[in-house]
Amino acid sequence: MKANGGKPMYVVVAPKMLRLNTDYHISVSLYDMPAPIEVNATVSGWGHSVSTGAVTVGTAESKVLTLAIGDWPRGYYQMHVMGTGANFTKHDVIDDKKPLHWGRDDGRSTVAITTNIFKNQLMLTFMEKCVSVFIQTDKAVYKPGQKVLFRAVVVNPSLIPKDNIPIDIYIEDGNGKRVNEWKQLNAKNGVISEELQLSAQPVLGHWTIGVTALRHNTTKTFIVTDDVLPTFDVEVVLPTYVTRNRPEMVALVKAFDTNGKAVKGELTLYIANKDHNNPRILRAKETIDGSATLNIDLIDDLQIDNSFHLDESGLEIDFTVRVRDALTGKQLTRHKTVMLYERDLKIEVVKTSMAYKPGLKNTFVVKVGTQDGKPVPDSGPQLNIKYGYSWDKTDWKECKESPLLVTPINGLIKFDVFPPKDIERMGVKAEYMGQTYDIAITKAKTRCGQYLQVVRADTTDITVGQDVKFVVNATEPIIRLVCEVMGRGDIAWAKSFDIHTNINAGYEFTVPTLPQMAPLARLLCHYVRPDDQEVVADALDFDVEPVFRTPVQTVDTKPEELAGVGLNTRHNPFVDISREEVMNELKAYDTDSESYHSRRWSRHWSATVNIFDDSGVGMMHNGVNVIILVSDVYKERL
């Protein structure tokens, strides 16, 4: 059996983001070609262009093409791909005004056009960020006449020190005026150290250090003040949340000097909700002698009536506390927030997809916990889970496995559902401690009603250099599976698999993890249906622990010194960069304007094209093409 019914077909997957001074990769997969063909990919725009030249791709092969992007200017760029050497038939769905009913024949027709060449193009989003810059100062606050010591650490996306590139540094005072600058500096082992002597009467306020490397600018602020910092501290103790039926809470404010002596003075409290449509502010004053206790009813005090809708995300309440020391007149302000929820508990799907795929085993992990994330006790009552395949919940008794009575362990419940292939809807609800919760799930959608599912075969933590195992299942036989792994906004790995076994038993394969996949990667898998040349796909996120090229370890320092995680090298053993900074920098390389990791979905609910679109790539092919809710950056033509 041919993977594509014997008709020549191509599938091209390409990142939508173009990053300067890096390699750009596209994945080309061919199906049922009568002979190898030549594929040429080009990225061009704004007077710059780079091409792979003619690359020979086999009759049923997947190949990654690489284009080296130079130090190009910001502008509009396109990726063009062309293949010659076979007759390609393009299928398009016509009558696009007719509503589409997923999962069954909707009566739409297709038009087929055959040519001896294929051409596609993809609009690209240009990104200048190709290095990471970390800025540290020896202190956070300076006084007039003091010296500011600072340094910048420049590394590439693999955290290797970046040398031989020009670095520009500037410093702006509290008024935004540039007071000093350094041009065309060269880092040594990725590090540049400089200093600035403050005058006796500098501009007070927040000063800014800016570092520009390869057109990417990074800033850090420090404070210049002639005021003696308060010699006391204020701590605000609040509950993390309250509920509508239990809105009473206690706010505890503590104020002590550096010697542990109670501070006496005046306390001013401001409470404001974050609802822009119905803002409420409460102001209260109290005396304080080391500590003060304030009893608050958020519902009454903020005049929140019963008609006010509290959604699952709750309402954020902001607390601002100002303490004025009666002895010195100094004052200190602290901010803290409390969430207001409708109910004390929440039940939600975690770690697994919220989309179910009919005809396949769907595993759900449900977390039962308080609104602040604490799991319910293991010794608590059982959770009653019910599910069914109709709008009428009275018909849910038809499911032999429903209801399920399960006791949460560490707040988690895992259960499997095997919905029939022909269902249009599935609902899940849970009953716990007299409350009923609707669990949000939705049906995955494909035009043909067939589904692909990729899951982890193990649950162990993965570090760069190790293999990670996956299992693929499908509702119909698969001849060939093509997979790509997205990491830091680019294709980090791609491979195709010829499947000779029964897919009903699952097909297991391994992916070697590479540095570009850390700390979070996305596996994209697809196959082509031989009956109608539709592409069916699935995706899965997985975590990868990075391995730093220079050892990362916690270092102990004095308060006035730089503290954090040290990237120690033989030439520079004193560069301290916090682990959180490093991880955030790695994540910043993943997407352009909207990170797909912020969604943290495992398997997307919508159409195949949307899976790729939301993963930061464009998918181009000559099979049946139905596009739904996809951005206009994707264009396909013969």
Interval 426-471: pLDDT, tens = 888 888 988 889 888 888 888 888 999 999 998 789 999 999 999 9
What's this model's pTM, rounded to 2 decimal places?
0.77
Task: Assign residue 247 the CATH number of its domain.
Answer: 2.60.40.1940
Asked whether residue 406 falls in the same domain as residue 320, the answer is no
- Tell me, yes or no, whether 256 lies in a domain: yes
Arithmetic mean of pLDDT, 77-93 = 85
Residue 466 exposed, middle or buried by CB count within 10 Å (0-12, 13-18, 19+): middle
Can you give the pLDDT at residue 278? 64
Asked whether residue 420 falls in the same domain as residue 364, the answer is yes
Tell which of 443, 458, 484 closes a domain: 443
Can you give the pLDDT at residue 109? 53
Asked whether residue 375 falls in the same domain as residue 414, the answer is yes
Range of the domain at 309: 232-329
Mean pLDDT of the chain: 83
pLDDT of 518 higher than 80: yes
- Tell me, yes or no, whether 18 lies in a domain: no
Arithmetic mean of pLDDT, 89-113 = 52
Arithmetic mean of pLDDT, 596-618 = 62
Number of domains in the chain: 2
Can you give the pLDDT at residue 157? 82
Can you give the pLDDT at residue 226? 84
Asked whether residue 370 falls in the same domain as residue 324, the answer is no
Can you give the pLDDT at residue 486? 94
Asked whether residue 276 falls in the same domain as residue 323, the answer is yes
Most confident option among 206-215, 382-391, 532-541, 606-615: 206-215
Can you give the pLDDT at residue 576? 57
Can you give the pLDDT at residue 155? 87
Helix (H, G, I), strand (E, B), or coil: what is residue 613?
A: helix
pLDDT of 112 higher than 80: no
Asked whether residue 277 falls in the same domain as residue 362, the answer is no
Can you give the pLDDT at residue 401? 61
- Tell me, yes or no, whether 418 lies in a domain: yes
222-249 residue pLDDT tens:
999 887 656 789 999 999 999 999 999 9
Tell which of 443, 468, 494 closes a domain: 443
Task: Assign residue 380 the CATH number of its domain.
Answer: 2.60.40
pLDDT of 139 higher than 50: yes
91 alpha carbon, distance to own chain's centre: 34
Half-sphere exposure of residue 378: CA atoms within 13 angstroms, side-chain side: 2
- Tell me, yes or no, whether 261 lies in a domain: yes
pLDDT of 621 higher than 50: yes
- Smallest Cα–Cα separation from 273: which of 316, 321, 309? 316
Arithmetic mean of pLDDT, 89-106 = 50
> Of all residues in the chain, what percent carry a pLDDT higher than 90?
48
- Tell me, yes or no, whether 257 lies in a domain: yes
Asked whether residue 324 falls in the same domain as residue 362, the answer is no
Tell which of 417, 443, 469 closes a domain: 443
- Tell me, yes or no, whether 281 lies in a domain: yes
551-596 residue pLDDT tens:
434 333 333 333 333 444 434 434 456 777 788 888 888 754 344 4
- Tell me, yes or no, whether 266 lies in a domain: yes
What lies within 8 Å, CB to CB, of 298 at 6+ separation is: 242, 247, 249, 271, 304, 317, 338, 340
Half-sphere exposure of residue 254: CA atoms within 13 angstroms, side-chain side: 9
Can you give the pLDDT at residue 219? 95
- Tell me, yes or no, whether 174 lies in a domain: no
Q: How many residues does the chain have?
A: 638
pLDDT of 105 higher than 70: no
Arithmetic mean of pLDDT, 271-280 = 73
Asked whether residue 324 falls in the same domain as residue 413, the answer is no
